[in-house]
Structure 1
Amino acid sequence: MKLSVLLALSMLPLQSREMLALAYQGPDFNDLQSKYPNLNLRSRVDRFRLFLAHSDTKVVFLGMDGYPSLPGGEDNPPFRLCYQGFLPNEGENLVSVCGTRYPDTLGTEASYAFSLEAGLNMTHVVTSHSRGIDKAALYGARESGLPAYVCCDCGLSTRRITENRLLAGCNLISPFEPDDTASRWRCLSRNYLTCAFSPALVVFQAPAKSGALACSSLALDIGREVFVHETGLRKVEVNEGTLRLANEGCPPIGGYPDVAKEMGFGQDRSLVPCKESNALYRYGNTCYSLKHETE
């Protein structure tokens, strides 16, 4: 099927499974435009194709080879995924990270250390490009050398993406059109991908009303393991949501080794706090070195 038809299908006001069923019928582009005259399919598809032609962005559709297995297995996965870099592979170790945009210092340091240690042990971090906990996770993943998978709440041609230097080298994933700006409902779609791509979600800090808490609820709804990092168990306002998760039965963890044990991930390297003179990594006022299991 032509790319223009697939792109047009992805823009219709239908559920993803309905788009897929329609795709199997082999529709014609002109028929789609005639049926949905108010959607300006031609101009939107032309903009989309122009963006693909002049960037390193690729696109994959539900039902095609290369579409990630976990989102494809849920009730209403995105019909279309745009990405730069790579998409998650079935054989990779993956762990999702989320938390408030306004954490305290302990929260950001914990997120950084967790993601750094995960990456050093060949476990990919899945997170967003929001400020706070997710941003600290991106710093940790970058320093580990194992690129994170970043689920975006906007299109990949927006300034929110192109002007964020922290995203250089990351695997960027978006279900939106290239110039779609961030919005509340797009954040919810982004949260779905953050949860669905990996079998486990670690929540660091979440207030009583927060996107991170909504993300954890979504993860539980689709059958993912949800862990609460111990930094989210202190009795402060920013932890009201994570304290609730723990009270409802989400197991607490102290760091990546606990998740690795629970999920069967490998751990050949351990991150160890150290003095500045011996540091391999530094975030804020905390320094870290490495310990290998063979030592």
Structure 2
Amino acid sequence: MEKYYFAALRMVPGIGNVRLVKLVNHFGSARQAWMAERGDLFLCPHLDSQAKEQLLAARSKVDVHKLAAEWEKSGIKICTFQDNEDLVEYPLLLKNIFNPPAVLFYRGELPDTDRLIAVVGSRRCSSYGRTVAEKLGSELAQAGFWVVSGGARGIDTAAHSGAMSAGKTLAVLGCGVDLVYPPENKKLFAQILECGCGIISEYPPGTAAYPAHFPSRNRIISGIARGVVVVEAPQRSGALITAEWALEQGRDVFAVPGSIFSSASRGCHQLIKQGAKLVESGEDVLEEYGFAFQKAASPIKTNAEPMSDLEKAVLETLSFEIRRNIEDIIAETGLPPAQVAFGLLKLQLRGIVVEDESQCYLRCSREG
């Protein structure tokens, strides 16, 4: 039950990570801190008078045993920084950052390894950014790394989805783990739990997503991983805050280049100028840690027939960044619609072209 007293203390307004650790050390345990006599509590030098009153008010309203039962029923688990019985669960790399979360709430499973890489970027990403994030997520997961991201729309969603196609992913939230934010990612979060991955937060269940939570959330994304890959980030982006945290924590920073005309990639280009490693594939990340990239088996056999003139003609109209609909491709190639559709299908089977949700096409891999 000790960890639930930790969690109950963390729920008290005015008791953050630093105060919580000092409070527990002062009283000897989280339970003793929660149950302390009023006089002993007011003699504690680590809380101001307002926080002490907040703690007393919380104690009169919260039944820790009932709270524990409710969370267990909902599949919400807890690990703490100091609780010996949970020390093996607390993420190893996160434990060593400055001001680590005293309590982590999670659903699903926590990584049992330190082989984690964060993939982050803009919520308003392009098709290019989405494709790259999904590709990196898949390649890193395939190599045995957990892919960490923030569960947000855009790049985060693509990274999680790509990782789940080949391995494990971890979503770090800026709200309680019992909530879904953004709401449209309800299906994604369900898939994360169904495939044996995890969702974590330092915020207690029921905590809404506030803008002030996300910079703090970002320090967990970087702190729990060996390195951070930034895919598409404008100059003012939360992904750049994550990169700054990574540098402060001694983590590696990687960045994916984009078009020099795209404002969505200016943050990435800035990072590359400052020394971040330029990344074009998961292999570029893996080689930093001495891991070889094993390419997934292709749906096309290794002795596949050479690319036809039709496929080459269709491919020439497509780029990695600009989406093209089938009408544009037909107009540019001058080919009949049926032939263009067949060429696109062949290119998709080769894994060279993808179709997005708006039925537009984009290159996602170099031929061969």
Q: TM-score scaled to structure 1, two decimals?
A: 0.86
Conserved 8 A contact 2:3-2:79: no
SS across alignment from 1:212: helix
Conserved 8 A contact 1:202-1:226: yes
Structure 2 CA distance for aligned equivalents of residues 20 and 134 of structure 1: 32
Structure 2 CA distance for aligned equivalents of residues 227 and 32 of structure 1: 51
Q: What does 1:48-67 align with in structure 2 at a 5 Å threshold? A: 48-64=67-83, 65=87, 66-67=89-90
Q: What does 1:119-198 align with in structure 2 at a 5 Å threshold? A: 119-144=141-166, 146-160=167-181, 164-168=186-190, 169=193, 170-198=197-225
Residue matched to 1:93: 115
Shift of 1:227: 0.6
SS across alignment from 1:160: coil
TM-aligned CA distance change 1:183 to 1:44, over 3 Å: farther
Once the two structures are aligned, what percentage of the paired residues are identical? 25
Relative contact order, CA 8 A, sep 6+: which one is greater? 1
Structure 2 CA distance for aligned equivalents of residues 261 and 254 of structure 1: 12
Write out per-residue CA displacement over residues 93-128 of structure 1, whole angstroms, 9 at most, x where no aligned residue.
211000011111111110011111111222210001
TM-aligned CA distance change 1:204 to 1:4, over 3 Å: closer
Report whether the alignment pairs 1:30 with 2:29. no
Conserved 8 A contact 2:138-2:163: yes
Write out per-residue CA displacement over residues 208-229 of structure 1, whole angstroms, 9 at most, x where no aligned residue.
1111111111111111100111
Structure 1 CA distance for aligned equivalents of residues 159 and 53 of structure 2: 44
Shift of 1:19: 2.4
TM-aligned CA distance change 1:28 to 1:95, over 3 Å: closer
- In the alignment, structure 2 segments of 5+ residues that lack a partner are 43-51, 301-345
Moved >4 Å (runs of 4+):
32-35, 44-48, 270-274, 278-283, 286-289
Structure 2 CA distance for aligned equivalents of residues 271 and 128 of structure 1: 29
SS across alignment from 1:260: helix
Q: Select between 169-178 and 234-243 the one with higher mean Cα deviation.
A: 234-243
TM-aligned CA distance change 1:100 to 1:128, over 3 Å: same
Shift of 1:283: 6.0
**2:20 partner amino acid:** M
Larger radius of gyration, structure 1 or 2? 2
After superposition, the CA RMSD in angstroms is 2.8
- In the alignment, structure 1 segments of 5+ residues that lack a partner are 290-295
Conserved 8 A contact 1:276-1:287: no
Residue matched to 2:285: 259
Residue matched to 1:76: 99
Q: TM-score scaled to structure 2, two decimals?
A: 0.70
Structure 2 CA distance for aligned equivalents of residues 191 and 104 of structure 1: 22
Residue matched to 1:102: 124
Q: Select between 109-118 and 66-75 the one with higher mean Cα deviation.
A: 66-75
Structure 2 CA distance for aligned equivalents of residues 56 and 282 of structure 1: 37
Structure 1 CA distance for aligned equivalents of residues 115 and 277 of structure 2: 20
Write out per-residue CA displacement over residues 211-264 of structure 1, whole angstroms, 9 at most, x where no aligned residue.
111111111111110011123x53311122112111111121111011111122
TM-aligned CA distance change 1:187 to 1:267, over 3 Å: same
Conserved 8 A contact 1:7-1:45: no
Structure 2 CA distance for aligned equivalents of residues 73 and 269 of structure 1: 33
Shift of 1:50: 4.6
Report whether the alignment pairs 1:41 with 2:58. yes
